[in-house]
C-alpha cells in the first residue's frame, strides 16, 4: 500500500506508551466528551423547559435505550479487538471478512430488536416501575429511540471498525457532527417547539443518522484499506472470522447485558421512590459519564494497544500500558470528586433548579464518590481483559459484576438491611469495583502472556 492508502491504519506497538496511548485516546476522549455533552444537553434543556418530570422521563428512556444497545456494544468491542489483532499480525484478508461479518450480523440484529421492542416496550416500562405521572413522556422518548435504533447500531459498528484499524480521529469527527446537530435540534424541538421528551429523542436520532451516513461514506471511499468491496455478496457471515467473533463477542454481550439488566433491576426499585429519585439518579449518571468518557477512551485505546502488542509478541509493553491507563483516568476522577463534594448544588442545579432534587442530591454525594472510584480503576483492567481476547474472563466479569454483585448487594443493602434508596444506590456503586479485583488478579497471574500470537524480537 502507498502511504496515502495507509493513513487509516496505525501501528500501536511502537513509540512511547504514554504518548501513543494519549495520541490514540485523545480523539476518543473528545468523541466521548461530545457525546456526553449532548446527552447532558438533552437533560439540561428538558429539565429547564419541561421540569423535573421531563428530566425523569429522559432518564427512564435512557435506561431502556441502554437495554436496546448492549448487543451492538458487545460485538462492536469484540470486532475492534479482533481487527486490532489482525492488523498487528498483518492479516489484511481477515480484516475485510470481519467488516462483512459485523455489518451483516449487527444490522440484522438492529432490525430484529426494533420490531421486538416496538411490541414489548410497555412491558419493559412497567417492569422498571416507570412512575405513572411521567409514563406518557417516557413512552414518547423510548418509541422514538427504538425507531432510530439501526442508526445507533450502525454508528457503534463503524466506529469500532475504524478504531480497530488504529483510527480514532474520524469517529471523533462523526460524533462531533451528531453532537452539534443534536444540541441545535434540542433547542429547536424542546425549547422552541415545546415537543418535550419526544423532541429530545428526535434530535438524538437525527444526529446519529447523519453521523452514520458520513461514517459509511468514509468506509466506502477507503474500502481498499479494509479489503472490503461493499458488494451485496460480500455482506455475509464468514466462517473464518465468525468463530473468533462469537467466542469473544458473546461473553462481551453477556457482560453488557448482565450489567445493564442488573442495573435496570436496581433502578426499578429506585424508580418506585418517585420522579425526584429518578431525576437525581439520572443526573448522577450523567456526572459519572464525565469520567467515563476518559475511562472508555483509555480502555478502548489501551485494549487496542494490548491487542496489537500481543499480536506482535511484545509482552513487555503490556504492563506499561496498564500503568498509563491508571494515571490518565485518575485526573478527571479527582476533579469530579472535588466538584461533587464541594459544589453539589451547582452541579445538580444545572439540570433542575428544584428544591426536592437539590435536597436529595446531598444524600447522593457519598455514593458518587464510590462510583467515581470505580470509573477510575476499571478501564486498565478492561483494557487487559479485552485486549488479550480472554472470553472466559469476560464471562466471569459479567456474572460477578452484573448478576452476583450488583443484584446481590442491592438486595442485601436495600431490602435485607432496609437501607432504602441508599442501599440500592450503594449496591450499584460497589458492584463497579468487581472488574478491578478480577483484572488485577489476571494481571498479576501473568496468564495474559499466553495470548501472544507469534514471537517477536522486541
pLDDT at 75: 87
Pull the grid cell for residue 98: 470481519
pLDDT at 111: 94
115: alpha, beta or left? (left if phi > 0; alpha if psi -120 to 50)? alpha
> What are the tens digits of pLDDT across the range 264-317?
888 899 999 988 998 899 889 888 988 888 888 888 788 878 887 887 778 888
pLDDT at 454: 43
Residues 6+ away with beta carbon under 8 Å from 429: 367, 370, 371, 374
pLDDT at 1: 36
Long-range contacts of 312-315 (CB under 8 A, 24+ apart): 312/13, 312/88, 312/89, 312/453, 312/454, 312/456, 312/458, 313/452, 313/453, 313/454, 313/455, 313/456, 313/458, 314/13, 314/456, 314/458, 315/449, 315/452
Question: How far, CA to CA in Å, does 2 sit from each of 8, 85, 222, 224, 418?
Answer: 12, 22, 13, 11, 66
pLDDT at 149: 92
Positions in the chain whose pLDDT score sits under 70: 1-15, 24-25, 27-28, 31-32, 35, 38, 168, 391, 451-458
CA distance 227 to 97: 8
pLDDT at 150: 92
Domain ranges of the chain: 17-451
Contact present, 68 and 153 (Cβ < 8 Å) = no
Amino acid at each position: 500500500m502507498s502511504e496515502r492508502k495507509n493513513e487509516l491504519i496505525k501501528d500501536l506497538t511502537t513509540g512511547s506508551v504514554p504518548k501513543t496511548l494519549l495520541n490514540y485516546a485523545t480523539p476518543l476522549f473528545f468523541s466521548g466528551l461530545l457525546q456526553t455533552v449532548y446527552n447532558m444537553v438533552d437533560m439540561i434543556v428538558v429539565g429547564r423547559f419541561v421540569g423535573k418530570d421531563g428530566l425523569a422521563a429522559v432518564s427512564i428512556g435512557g435506561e431502556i435505550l441502554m437495554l436496546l444497545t448492549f448487543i451492538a456494544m458487545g460485538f462492536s468491542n469484540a470486532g475492534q479487538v479482533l481487527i486490532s489483532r489482525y492488523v498487528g499480525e498483518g492479516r489484511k484478508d481477515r480484516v475485510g471478512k470481519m467488516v462483512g461479518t459485523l455489518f451483516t450480523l449487527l444490522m440484522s440484529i438492529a432490525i430484529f430488536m426494533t420490531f421486538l421492542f416496538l411490541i414489548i416496550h410497555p412491558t419493559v416500562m412497567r417492569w422498571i416501575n416507570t412512575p405513572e405521572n411521567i409514563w406518557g413522556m417516557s413512552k414518547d422518548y423510548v418509541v422514538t429511540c427504538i425507531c432510530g435504533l439501526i442508526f445507533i447500531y450502525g454508528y457503534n459498528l463503524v466506529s469500532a471498525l475504524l478504531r480497530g484499524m488504529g483510527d480514532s480521529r474520524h469517529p471523533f469527527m462523526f460524533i462531533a457532527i451528531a453532537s452539534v446537530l443534536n444540541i441545535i435540534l434540542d433547542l429547536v424541538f424542546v425549547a422552541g417547539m415545546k415537543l418535550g421528551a419526544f423532541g429530545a429523542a428526535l434530535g438524538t436520532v437525527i444526529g446519529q443518522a447523519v453521523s452514520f451516513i458520513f461514517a459509511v461514506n468514509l468506509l466506502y471511499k477507503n474500502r481498499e484499506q479494509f479489503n472490503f468491496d461493499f458488494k451485496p455478496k460480500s455482506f455475509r457471515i464468514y466462517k473464518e472470522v465468525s468463530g473468533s467473533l462469537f467466542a469473544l463477542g458473546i461473553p462481551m454481550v453477556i457482560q453488557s447485558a448482565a450489567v445493564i439488566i442488573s442495573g435496570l433491576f436496581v433502578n426499578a426499585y429506585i424508580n418506585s421512590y418517585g420522579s425526584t429519585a429518578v431525576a437525581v439518579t439520572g443526573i448522577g449518571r450523567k456526572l459519572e459519564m464525565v469520567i467515563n468518557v476518559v475511562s472508555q477512551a483509555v480502555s478502548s485505546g489501551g485494549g487496542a494497544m494490548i491487542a496489537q502488542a500481543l499480536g506482535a509478541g511484545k509482552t513487555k509493553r503490556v504492563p506499561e500500558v496498564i500503568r498509563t491507563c491508571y494515571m490518565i483516568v485518575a485526573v478527571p476522577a479527582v476533579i469530579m470528586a472535588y466538584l461533587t463534594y464541594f459544589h453539589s448544588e451547582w452541579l445538580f442545579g444545572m439540570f433542575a433548579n428544584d428544591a426536592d432534587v437539590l435536597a436529595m442530591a446531598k444524600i447522593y454525594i457519598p455514593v458518587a464518590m464510590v462510583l467515581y472510584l470505580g470509573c477510575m480503576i476499571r478501564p486498565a483492567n478492561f483494557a487487559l481483559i479485552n485486549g488479550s481476547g480472554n472470553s472466559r474472563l469476560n464471562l466471569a466479569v459479567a456474572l460477578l459484576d452484573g448478576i452476583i454483585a450488583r443484584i446481590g448487594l442491592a438486595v442485601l443493602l436495600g431490602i435485607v438491611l432496609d437501607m432504602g434508596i441508599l442501599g440500592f444506590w450503594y449496591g450499584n456503586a460497589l458492584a463497579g469495583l468487581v472488574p478491578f479485583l478480577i483484572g488485577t488478579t489476571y494481571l498479576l497471574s501473568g496468564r495474559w502472556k499466553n495470548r501472544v500470537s507469534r514471537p517477536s524480537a522486541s
